[in-house]
Chain A
Amino acid sequence: MANKILVFIEQRNGQIKRSSFEAVHLAAQMASKLSTGVEAIAIGNEIQNLEKTGGYGAVKVTHYKNQQLENYSASAYKDILAKHFIDNNFDILIISNTSLGKDLAPRIAVKIDAGIAMDCTSFSYENGNIIATRPVYAGKALIDVKITSNKKVFSLRPNVFAAGTPTDLQSEIEVKNVENPNLAEKVVDIKKSDSRLDVAEADIIVSGGRGLKGPENFKLVEELASLLGAATGASRAVVDAGWRPHSEQVGQTGKTVSPSLYIALGISGAIQHLAGMRSSKYIVAVNKDKDAPIFQIADYGIVGDVFEIVPALINELKKIKGQK
C-alpha cells in the first residue's frame, strides 16, 4: 500500500491531547482521498484512552512504553518514531504543531529524509498530490506547497481542523516496551505558569492592550476571562512595557491564535497584532477610537471606554449565568 499514513499521538501526564484527535481525523480524511489507511504511534508510560483513536479513524496504535518516556525527550522520541516509520514502510507522518510537535517534527524529517510542511491550516488534493496551505508572515499571507519527496511530514495547526464526532470503533493497541531509551536530551522538570490556560490552546481569548492604562487594570481582563473560561492575552505594547508576561503576547513576535472567540480590549490593532489573531472565528473589539484598525476585522465592535464597557459586560454575563 502506497501513501501509508502514521499519526503521532501526543500525551501529557498520560492524557491524549485534543489536537492529536484532530490529527487522526484529518489523516483519515487524507487517507480516503489517497485510498490508504491510518495507523498511530504514541510514546509514554501509562496512556489513557488510546483505543479511542479508533473512533477518529486509526485502525491501530503502537504504544512505545517506558516510565522514563512519560515526559518528553527529543532524543528518545525521535529515535523511536523514525525507526517505527521506516521499519513499517510508512510514507506520510502527521503531527500536531504544538510546542512538542514543532520541536520533534523537523528532526524526524531529517532522519527519514522527508520534505516537511509546518503549521498547515488546510489541504486539497489534485491527481493524487497533496497540496498543503499554510500561513506565512504570521498570517499576512498564505502559501500553497507541495512536498516533492516520497516521504512527507505535515504538522497541523491545533484548533483549526475539526476532530469530528467519533464512532464507537476502537483501535487495536500494540504495546512495545522500550529498553534503554536515548536520553541525551531529557525533560527533568516542568514549571507550570500561574495562568490556567495558554492562549495557544484556548477556545476563547480575552486580550488587553494599552487602553487598559496600567498593569493593575488587567484584573478586568482576568475577571472577564474567568467568567468565560477563557485565556488572557496581551498586545506587544503591554508585554514590552512589562505589564504582562511574554507567554501571553498575541501577534507576530508572540503567538498566532485562532480561537472561536477573541475579545480585544483597548487594543488598537497594530499590523503585527492583527496578523496573529485575524483567523479567530469571531472577534469582538472595545476601543475608544472609532478609527482603530481593530474595528476593520472585528465582527462586533463597541466604540467606548473599556472601563465602562467591560464592567457592564461582566455584570451582563453574571446575570445570564445566574439564570441558568
Chain B
Amino acid sequence: MKIAVCVSHVPDTAAKIVIGADGKSIDPTGVQYIINPYDEFAIEEALKLKEKLGGETVVITLGGESSKETIRKSLAMGIDNAVLLKDDNFRDSFLVAAALASEIKNQNAELVFFGKQSVDYDNSIVGQMTAEILGYNCVTVVVNLKIEGNKILAEREIEGGKEVVETSLPAVITAQKGLNEPRYASLKGIMTAKKKVIEEKKPAAGSNKLEILAMKKPPAKQPGKIIGTDAGAVPELVKLLKEEAKVI
C-alpha cells in the first residue's frame, strides 16, 4: 500500500510571536522552526503500518526552501520518499488542500496521514478538505487506529470521550497526540536522509478565498493582584471571586 504523510514546518511552540513589518504575519527573526508536533504522530503511524502491511511511504510538504528541514526529519524517521511543493506565497487552506490533493492523486496513495492541526494557523481543516477534494473518507483527531483489509476502525477524541468511527479505504486520517509514541531518528536514518533526493514541484496556482487583513497581539492582561503568601489569604480570595469577579 502506498501511504502519504503531509507535514508542515512551523514555529516552535516555545517561540515568542512578534508581528512582522507587514502587519499581517509574524516576524521570523530568531524564531526556531520545527516539524509540526502532531505530524510526528502521523509519520509514526505511517511507518508502523508500512512495517505491518508493506508498501511505500512518501512525505509531502507545501512550503518554501526551509521546509526541507522538516522533510529531512521525516526521512530520518524512516519515510521512503519526499516531495516538496515549493511555494513561498500565502495560500489559504483551500489552496493548500488542492495542491496536496493533486500530488496525492499523482502518487496514487490510498491512505494519507496528517497531524490533526498545524500549530501556526490552528485551523485543523486541511486534512478534511484534502479528503473531500479527493473523494476519500476521513476521520479526524484519531487516537487509535485499526486497518484490516479495506476496513478502518478509528477512535477520535470528542468532548468528554471518544467516538469509534467505521469507514473504509481510501482515506485520510488526522493524528492526535496519544495515537502512538513517535520514534527518534536513528543515526543511520539521519545519514540516509541526508543523501535522499527531495523531489521539487511547483504546485498549481489559484486564487485564495480568504484574505488576512491584519495580525495583532491579543489585548494585554492587566497584571494581577497578589493577595497573600499563605493560607490566610484564602478567605480574601473567595470573597473576591464571589463579589468582584462573580464567578463562583
Residue numbers of A with Cβ under 8 A of B are 71-72, 74-75, 78, 98-100, 102-103, 105-107, 109-111, 114-119, 131, 135-149, 184-193, 195-198, 200-201, 204, 228, 246-247, 249, 252-254, 256, 260-261, 270-272, 278-279, 281-285, 290, 295-304, 308-309, 311-313, 316-317, 320
Contact = CB atoms under 8 A, between A and B. Distances in A.
B122 A136 contact: yes
Contacts, number: 266
Given A99-B158, A135-B122, A303-B226, 8 more contacts: A115-B209, A141-B216, A143-B213, A187-B165, A195-B160, A198-B159, A295-B224, A309-B234
B218 A308 contact: no
A319 B225 CA distance: 24
Nearest to A98: B159
A217 to B, nearest CB: 17
Contacts of B213: 131, 143-146
Nearest to A239: B177
Contacts of B17: 137, 140-141
Given A102-B125, A143-B214, A144-B213, A193 B237 contact: no
A185 B217 contact: no
Contacts of A301: 224-227
Given A141-B218, A186-B165, A308 B131 contact: no
A142 B133 contact: no
Nearest to B155: A191
Interface stretch (B46-54, B197-205, B239-247): B239-247
Contacts of A107: 128-129, 131-132, 138
Given A299-B245, A300-B237, A190 B218 contact: no
Interface string B25-41: 01000000000011000
B218 A135 contact: yes
27 contacts: A107-B132, A110-B97, A137-B119, A140-B218, A141-B217, A142-B215, A142-B218, A144-B216, A146-B210, A185-B138, A191-B155, A191-B161, A191-B162, A192-B160, A193-B162, A201-B160, A246-B178, A278-B218, A296-B221, A297-B221, A300-B225, A301-B224, A301-B227, A309-B233, A316-B234, A316-B235, A320-B242
A96 to B, nearest CB: 11
A147 B241 contact: no
Interface stretch (B8-16, B78-86, B186-194): B8-16
A261 B167 CA distance: 40
Nearest to A17: B159
Contacts of A99: 141, 156-159
A302 B228 contact: yes
Contacts of A143: 24, 212-216
Interface string B62-93: 00000000000000000000000000000011
B168 interface: yes
A267 to B, nearest CB: 14
Nearest to B247: A261
A193 B80 CA distance: 38
Contacts of B92: 115
B137 A298 contact: no
B129 A144 contact: no
A13 to B, nearest CB: 12
B145 interface: no
B125 A261 contact: no
A313 B125 contact: no
B139 interface: yes
A145 B128 contact: no
A110 B228 contact: no
B148 interface: no
B133 A247 contact: no
Closest A-B pairs by Cβ, 4 of them: A115-B209, A106-B125, A312-B231, A110-B132
A107 to B, nearest CB: 5
Given A139-B218, A143-B215, A197 B160 contact: yes
B123 interface: yes
A301 B218 CA distance: 22
B22 interface: no
Given A102-B140, A295-B224, A313 B237 contact: yes
A149 B226 CA distance: 49
B209 A114 contact: yes
A175 to B, nearest CB: 26
A110 B159 contact: no
Contacts of A149: 209
